[in-house]
Structure 1
Amino acid sequence: MLKAISKSIFGSANDRYVKTLGKIVNQINALEPQIQALTDDELKAQTDKFRAMLAEGKTLDDILPEAFATVREASVRVLGMRHFDVQMIGGIVLHRGEIAEMRTGEGKTLVATLATYLNAIEGKGVHVVTVNDYLARRDAEWMGQLHGFLGLSIGVIVPNLSEFERREAYNADITYSTNNELGFDYLRDNMKHSREQMVQRPFNYAIVDEVDSILIDEARTPLIISGPTEDKSDLYVALDQIVKQVPEEWYEKDEKSKNISWTEDGNESIEQMLADAGLLQTDNLYDVENTMVVHHLDQALKANIMFKRDTDYIVKDEKVVIIDEFTGRMMDGRRWSNGLHQAVEAKEGVKIEPENQTMASITFQNYFRMYPKLSGMTGTAATEAGEFWDIYKMNVVTIPTNVPVQRIDEEDEFYKNTLDKFGAIAKSIAEKSKIGQPVLVGTVSIEKSELLSQFLDKEGVKHEVLNARFHEQEARIVAQAGRLGAVTIATNMAGRGTDIQLGGNIEFRIEDELADVPEGPKRDLEIDRIKAEVMAERQKVKEAGGLFVLGTERHESRRIDNQLRGRSGRQGDPGLSRFYLCLEDDLLRIFGPDTLFAKMMNSNLADGEAIGSKWLSKAIETAQKKVEARNYDQRKQVVQYDDVMNDQRKVIYEQRAEIMDSEAVDDVVVNMRHDAIEAIVAEHCPPGSYPEQWNIAGLREKVRDTLGLEPPFEAWLEEDQVEPEMIEERLRASADEIMDRKMAGADPAIWRRVEKSILLERLDHYWKEHLATLDALRQAVFLRAYAQKQPINEYKQEAFSLFESMLETLRENVTSILVKSELRIAEPPPPPSLPDLPDFLTGHIDPLTGLDNSNDGDGSESRAALFGALAGSPQAAAGPGGHFPDDPYKDMEVSRNAPCPCGSGNKYKHCHGAMG
């Protein structure tokens, strides 16, 4: 009570903070007349002026008011849009490394230009992160006009770009990209063999659009780069056939976590079935020899019981295609890990592709925490403010709307079952459609979208269904969802990035209707006609009540519900929102309190009858909070385990960088050799022990295998006061002598390259094996909880020991290869060329649920159009897909990896030598 009274008098802490920012906005506004008086050339020169001020010792905060005033005026001249004062507040919040929570339709894309421009002036690079390729391209082209006017360079990262194009994009002042592309480029860079091959530069500042979607929803899923392993198709098929015979009483399932486990009777019965099928190497199912069979058996059971067709995946063109749980889109080319995708392929009877092994991985938490400054913007972040601070140390600031919100949020309606609910929804939509009120319907799955579509067909309501199409097509349909009488069904509207304007979107209508009309008086008249039609239609829609947002059930996150509601009532428009629920909804069925079912059933709710109550709304909110808490625990667990790997990852990546930057690595190689010898002697001649206790036979064998030496150990042991240090010193001297002789007879430059190449190759090999070991450890360490031990603490200890063991093995292996190697060069070698990285598979997979949430656009269509001009690449002249119809250099026998003779800077295979 006292808190409420205090808030009503003094305002909330957020309100007071926003009020303080108003003083800076007043400074910006005071500069507006002065900036407006500048000519275009003088306005463009502001960028050089600011750079000079920074060089003289000014800070970004010092130049902020004038820089923001400059961006505002440039926006008016280039884009025809003037930043509102509340958008200025949002820009200040972004510059300070905080999260700006702004309602849908408040112009977050324009807000980002303020902080982007200010921070890009330093020339260290600013990354603007979006949720899909379409938005990255759109924002780069749209806002790039403003930044280009002010003299800043723009880059954009989408899939299927060449290394040259990526490097050019990252070297730009401002780079637009998706979160997945940034993370995968970071991992790929740290698998390369020279600095020249790397595309990213040191991190500086990032602005994350839809920050809750990227840093919260997708943070459960680490980015993974993987390569293929051996084919086990026969095993997948055999286990799938066995699992399909398993009765329900043999297993227990947990729908909350999508996990499944065998009962005691089930264990015995399945063990017998596997033995009869000849799939077990021993009599006991859980002997170490049967580990692989048990793992794939569990995956086959999960695939058959927990993963449902047309909900978790679809079968398209004889392939299993994952459906993104957050956006409802198809994830072409993405696969589940740990054999789960192969198990689903066996279940559906399609071709089984080989499994993949992890080559590199990182979580979004640890990736984005590498930026010295990080900020974000979204329409819904306040409910996750605690997590943003705990994980990223980012404060959430709620920015007031430019115009008061007029939307009416009605009570939820509750029905007995799904059919009653969808029947009522269809009738409500039909009623709204008749009066011309546009309706946006939010569903949680493709299956529910198709079911509702059938109901609307029966009602004779014309509608559009959005669930698994391309982003650009989605954007066009969503943009017109505010037209008179429009009905649009969308699966998970979060992060689609397009405003719904009442009466329709003028720009899209011009593009669609006037694509073939050339510039001139006729086109201008047609544009005026479209604008007049849209304005007239907008007035009719407002009179009909504005956009009606209808939710077919509550999402497990309150943020997603709020994002859906936020599509209506933008910029003071009228609007309406309502959610329809029933007992069969997943949220209530899985997470609702047990008493909820009993109370509702005992109320004798009649078929087709609807109720609404505060008690019900409270129960739903409680269920959502439960899920949010569970998901936070999962994300926290993921980052806790990845933090352990992250410490090791930093060591390995820093070591790789030092090796790549060094002209010679002979000092590293010598230290590794000496450390290896010290470890070998310490293992067989423990300090403090007597010579009679030493394992001389084992020492002789180890020295022979590692160093290729046959020292006279017996003679050494006959000497007085023999010590392990003496043996170590003599072995070290012998090994150094061999290496000195070898290096004396070799070209120093060639030998340096050999050492560097072997060191990098062996480091990558053992790091890859170490990642696989840590994956296995993470899956097994939870069993330690039965011994009353903390799994995370056990994981830390085991991972540290494994890392030490890996480094020891690496030292021995590199030493052995270099000591035993012979360098023979019969003729002068060709100029060395570093190998290209293979086309690894990239995945973004949840280790807890198995769901994939990777980026799903391929970006192929954007290459030629978007990057030909930016990178100076001849791809602009290429044919479809970026390939040249006629290669003028085909008779020159140019190497595929050599620079293209045209001078583009691209490799020949990525330029004129591209295969059709």
Structure 2
Amino acid sequence: MLGLGSVARKVFGTPNDRKVKATRPLVDKINALEAEFEPLSDDALIAKTAEFKERVAKGESLDDILPEAFANCREGARRALGLRAFDVQLTGGIFMHQGNIAEMKTGEGKTLVATFPAYLNALTGKGVHIVTVNDYLARRDADWMSKVYGQLGMTTGVVYPQQPEDEKRAAYAADVTYATNNELGFDYLRDNMRSELRQLMQRGHNFAIVDEVDSILIDEARTPLIISGPSDDRSELYRTIDKVIPLLTDEHYSLDEKTRNVTFTDDGNEFLEEHLLGAGILPEGQSLYDPESTTIVHHVNQGLRAHKLFTKDKDYIVRDDSIVLIDEFTGRMMAGRRLSDGLHQAIEAKEGVDIQPENVTLASVTFQNYFRLYDKLAGMTGTALTEEEEFLEIYKLGVVEIPTNRPIARVDEHDAVYRTAQEKYDAIVAEIKRAHEAGQPTLVGTTSIEKSEFLSELLQKEGVPHNVLNARQHEQEAQIVADAGKLGAVTIATNMAGRGTDIQLGGNVDMKVMQALADDPEADPEPIRARIQAETADEKEKVKTAGGLFVLATERHESRRIDNQLRGRSGRQGDPGRSAFFLSLDDDLMRIFGSERLDNMLQKLGMKEGEAIVHPWVNKSLERAQAKVEGRNFDIRKQLLKFDDVQNDQRKVIFGQRREIMEAEELAEIAQDMRHQVIDDLVDQHIPAKTYADQWDGDGLYVSVLETLNLDLPVKAWVEEDGVDDEIIRERLYDESDRYMAAKAAQFGPTNMRQIEKQLLLQTIDGKWREHLLTLEHLRSVVGFRGYAQRDPLNEYKNEAFQLFESMLDSLRADVTKKLCQIKPLSEDEQRQMIAQIQAQRARVRESADPQPKPGEAEAEAAAPGFVESDPTTWGNPSRNDPCPCGSGKKFKHCHGQLA
């Protein structure tokens, strides 16, 4: 009997169905315009783009232009790629333009769908960013889709790591820019560390379309982006601590796998104290509980985490004498990524590789707060519905499921649960052999490198030919995925390695053609393509007859979404296929989330060895367990974000101030306001309000004015004058300091003074912000303990962070004022001495190094007419980052441009 909800859905449709149905009139309008746009010449399509831009500039909304723009884009794509977008693809494009996530199944052509909202929103002239999960996809998609944008008269750029600055700036200036989330975030941070406007890369945050949006905005959003600099080397401390950790026994620590947390017990602390005293790490007479031991306790805890929570070949691999982290969701290596807070160094000590020094945070941002900078955000993926609540709450993004162009023909079987891992693997090997012998290609999903290699060994023993795709085979990824749909192919993949590349039944024609041309570069591509297409079409039919792609998962993941991604590899564009999950009570999810009751129940039922329980109820209970884990993970991310929001508000203020300073033509007024504020603070400190004249500290004020303002004034005499109050003293200090700074500006010259003020302000802001970030990190690590005193850690953090920010701004004003008041131009003798020192240093460098000029040296020497290397007055106005004209080989800002 159907419930009321089921009856209502049958009659009225689901809310998702109603949303999709509401776009039908728009899609019909676009289809009706097709006949109008088809006869247009290529130049006329480009002219249409110019016309749309003009209409938008005059105030017409993008929604009004949408049907014509989509029709123009569809025609451009048809001519450039030979692909005519289906109605469901237009629907996906409409929802993305409206600021939603379009959930579209694998093989539905999401890459093409993104061109529609990107083209429409690029008509504003403010640029559109299309975000991908890795550099390979950014370059591939940019190269592929630039043909469409080019057909419509728009420019395309691609951003990648270590890109030349001019090329990167041009990529950001393009109408549509493809980039990875990491590179976009790092460029945002780098832009906010630059000292001149002309050095900036990004030109604003207008509209972003995030591909694989669940991976980027949820999975990767747990780790903030950090730009850091090196700090003290503590490698010996890590190595010494690492020798102690393996000596621990089970009673020395408690491990909670559910929360991935490990802590020392009282016995463990006593044992540690004894060994650390013996090793000389703890000084004699000092306990682990003493405040002086905080650093040692922190590193010991990180050592314990490295040994008990991080597993080789699952969480990281050792490659080229370094630790490379592995993304738990995609199975890919994350080269260049490091764990913070000394944890990475603890893992390096554990594996006996070179220990890199810890880093100090110079700038950081979370993906959540970076992507919330955009005026409008959209996304696309095959799996987002299970995380709908998080997308809506954090990013204000709705999720809409777009129907497939053809009905899904894949058969999803119920989970098969075995009692032991051995029984499960025996059943998996038997199932793979059966499918292989029938010619059905099989994609086997595993959760770690270790398990993928274990299964590979089992298949080798049985003589089943197969490919393994994990972080070790990173370079062959595209080729292995392209071959995964061939007749009888068996591919073992760690998690979702291979995302972004379709598994096509019969094999990937383009990859086969590229391979054939690589083997015979002289061959004519056209006949080769025709032959390979015919062979692949024949093989595809055989694979379809064998049942299509068989996806076999060896474990359930904590997240339903990751399971759905694996499942979605099969049944592409209406192809046949099947999927099955093989589980055991020894699996992590089953073991951690209450398998004892299930084990007892299975024993009572009298299950024989090798038998599996297969029932819809088991699926339901597993999904409930996964939903609980997802909910808990969401709560953790939400809590982390609440803390980061506090820092984010401060980050916006600091970055906004930096931008204002860089854009300002004249900074004398800002410097004067700061100076006057500092004078107010000094007067308030030494002449407190509502006090008598005999309580005023004239000597202290004199010393402070001399130290801070570099002015030797008769302050003590002023304080002792009859009828003088604090206001009169303030005014006198304002006037004297203003006169002093005006005389200094005349000495330097207006242009030089403006440059000095700008660079001093920026350098001081950056230094203070770095110190502030470190203080906030320390505050974050201890504020949780306030909960024991019945105080909310988040409120405590907010209050203290605000007070710290206020005091940082006070000390910023004082530092800038002090530096500006003490700076002085070099005398001719001092200039001559400095130049002589630099030339002597340069001669020493040339004697000890290659006699060839350094990069930039020749250009500096061949500067303007009348240039004299030893005379700074003939150097013109070099940029802060140019080589110094004196020929030292240093940047100007580190040499003659260095501020005193």
1:322 matched residue in structure 2: 325
Residues 1:535 and 2:532 are matched in the alignment:
no
2:787 matched residue in structure 1: 785
Distance apart, 1:664 and its partner CA: 2.3
Q: Distance in 2 between the 1:287 and 1:734 partners?
A: 51
Q: Deviations over 1:644-689 (max 9, x none)?
A: 1111001101100111111221111111111112223323443234
2:27 matched residue in structure 1: 25
1:142 to 141, 144, 154: 144
The verdict on how the C-alpha distance between 1:597 and 1:678 changes in structure 2, with shifts beyond 3 A counting, is farther
- Mapped contact 2:481–2:498 kept (Cα < 8 A): no
Distance apart, 1:508 and its partner CA: 1.1
* Paired residues for 1:291-370 under 5 Å: 291-370=294-373
- Mapped contact 2:23–2:91 kept (Cα < 8 A): yes
* Paired residues for 1:7-86 under 5 Å: 7-86=9-88
Percent of pairs identical after alignment?
56
SS in 1 for 2:247: coil
Structure 2 alignment gaps of length 5 or more: 833-851, 865-878, 884-888, 890-900
* Paired residues for 1:359-438 under 5 Å: 359-438=362-441
The verdict on how the C-alpha distance between 1:740 and 1:44 changes in structure 2, with shifts beyond 3 A counting, is closer
2:478 matched residue in structure 1: 475
* Paired residues for 1:127-138 under 5 Å: 127-138=129-140
Q: Distance in 2 between the 1:890 and 1:538 partners?
A: 56
Which residue identity is paired with 1:688? K
Aligned residue-pair number: 847
Which residue identity is paired with 1:203? H
Q: Deviations over 1:613-669 (max 9, x none)?
A: 333223311221121011111211221111111110011011001111112211111
SS in 2 for 1:894: helix
1:231 to 228, 233, 241: 233
SS in 1 for 2:362: strand
- Mapped contact 2:331–2:497 kept (Cα < 8 A): no
SS in 2 for 1:314: strand
Q: Deviations over 1:760-807 (max 9, x none)?
A: 101000101111111111111111111111111111101000000111
Q: Distance in 1 between the 2:320 and 2:239 partners?
A: 20
Q: Deviations over 1:825-873 (max 9, x none)?
A: 539999xxxxxxxxxxxxxxxxxxxxxxxxxxxxxxxxxxxxxxxxxxx
1:894 matched residue in structure 2: 859
Q: Distance in 2 between the 1:529 and 1:474 partners?
A: 25
1:444 matched residue in structure 2: 447
SS in 1 for 2:518: coil
- Mapped contact 1:593–1:623 kept (Cα < 8 A): no
SS in 2 for 1:612: coil
Which residue identity is paired with 1:230? D
Q: Distance in 1 between the 2:117 and 2:463 partners?
A: 49
Distance apart, 1:245 and its partner CA: 2.0
2:760 matched residue in structure 1: 758
Distance apart, 1:46 and its partner CA: 2.0
The verdict on how the C-alpha distance between 1:896 and 1:229 changes in structure 2, with shifts beyond 3 A counting, is farther
Q: Distance in 2 between the 1:527 and 1:822 partners?
A: 73
Q: Distance in 2 between the 1:652 and 1:336 partners?
A: 26
Distance apart, 1:267 and its partner CA: 2.2
The verdict on how the C-alpha distance between 1:829 and 1:503 changes in structure 2, with shifts beyond 3 A counting, is farther
Which residue identity is paired with 2:425? F
SS in 1 for 2:440: coil
1:515 matched residue in structure 2: 518
Instruction: Tell me: higher relative CO, structure 1 or 2? Use CA pairs within 8 A at least 6 residues apart.
Output: 1
1:569 matched residue in structure 2: 571
Q: Distance in 1 between the 2:756 and 2:520 partners?
A: 63
Q: Distance in 1 between the 2:498 and 2:507 partners?
A: 20
1:810 matched residue in structure 2: 812
SS in 1 for 2:666: coil
Q: Deviations over 1:341-392 (max 9, x none)?
A: 1111111122111111111111111111111111001111111111111111
- Mapped contact 1:896–1:908 kept (Cα < 8 A): no
Which TM-score applies when normalising by structure 1? 0.88
Q: Distance in 1 between the 2:503 and 2:425 partners?
A: 24
Moved more, 37-46 or 702-711: 702-711
- Mapped contact 1:427–1:459 kept (Cα < 8 A): no
Q: RMSD of the alignment, in Å?
A: 2.6
Q: Distance in 2 between the 1:173 and 1:888 partners?
A: 40
Q: Distance in 1 between the 2:326 and 2:201 partners?
A: 31
- Mapped contact 2:696–2:719 kept (Cα < 8 A): no
Q: Distance in 1 between the 2:214 and 2:320 partners?
A: 34
1:251 to 232, 253, 266: 253
- Mapped contact 2:159–2:171 kept (Cα < 8 A): yes
Q: Deviations over 1:23-65 (max 9, x none)?
A: 1111111111121122233233321222233234322212211
Which residue identity is paired with 1:807? L
Distance apart, 1:743 and its partner CA: 2.3
Q: Distance in 2 between the 1:728 and 1:614 partners?
A: 81
Moved more, 706-715 or 12-21: 706-715
The verdict on how the C-alpha distance between 1:85 and 1:783 changes in structure 2, with shifts beyond 3 A counting, is same
The verdict on how the C-alpha distance between 1:888 and 1:238 changes in structure 2, with shifts beyond 3 A counting, is closer
Which TM-score applies when normalising by structure 2? 0.90
The verdict on how the C-alpha distance between 1:372 and 1:594 changes in structure 2, with shifts beyond 3 A counting, is farther
Distance apart, 1:890 and its partner CA: 8.1
Distance apart, 1:888 and its partner CA: 13
SS in 2 for 1:69: helix
The verdict on how the C-alpha distance between 1:470 and 1:683 changes in structure 2, with shifts beyond 3 A counting, is farther
SS in 2 for 1:610: coil
1:496 matched residue in structure 2: 499
* Paired residues for 1:462-861 under 5 Å: 462-468=465-471, 473-493=476-496, 496-515=499-518, 517=520, 523-592=525-594, 595-600=597-602, 602-603=604-605, 605-691=607-693, 693=695, 698-709=700-711, 711-712=713-714, 714-720=716-722, 723-824=725-826, 826=828
Q: Distance in 2 between the 1:672 and 1:256 partners?
A: 52
The verdict on how the C-alpha distance between 1:674 and 1:387 changes in structure 2, with shifts beyond 3 A counting, is same
Distance apart, 1:76 and its partner CA: 1.8
Which residue identity is paired with 1:131? V
1:95 matched residue in structure 2: 97
2:262 matched residue in structure 1: 260
Structure 1 alignment gaps of length 5 or more: 831-886, 900-904
SS in 2 for 1:169: helix
SS in 1 for 2:859: coil
Q: Distance in 1 between the 2:422 and 2:472 partners?
A: 27
- Mapped contact 1:898–1:908 kept (Cα < 8 A): no
Distance apart, 1:259 and its partner CA: 2.2
Q: Deviations over 1:119-148 (max 9, x none)?
A: 112221111101011110110111111111
Distance apart, 1:523 and its partner CA: 3.8
* Paired residues for 1:101-116 under 5 Å: 101-116=103-118
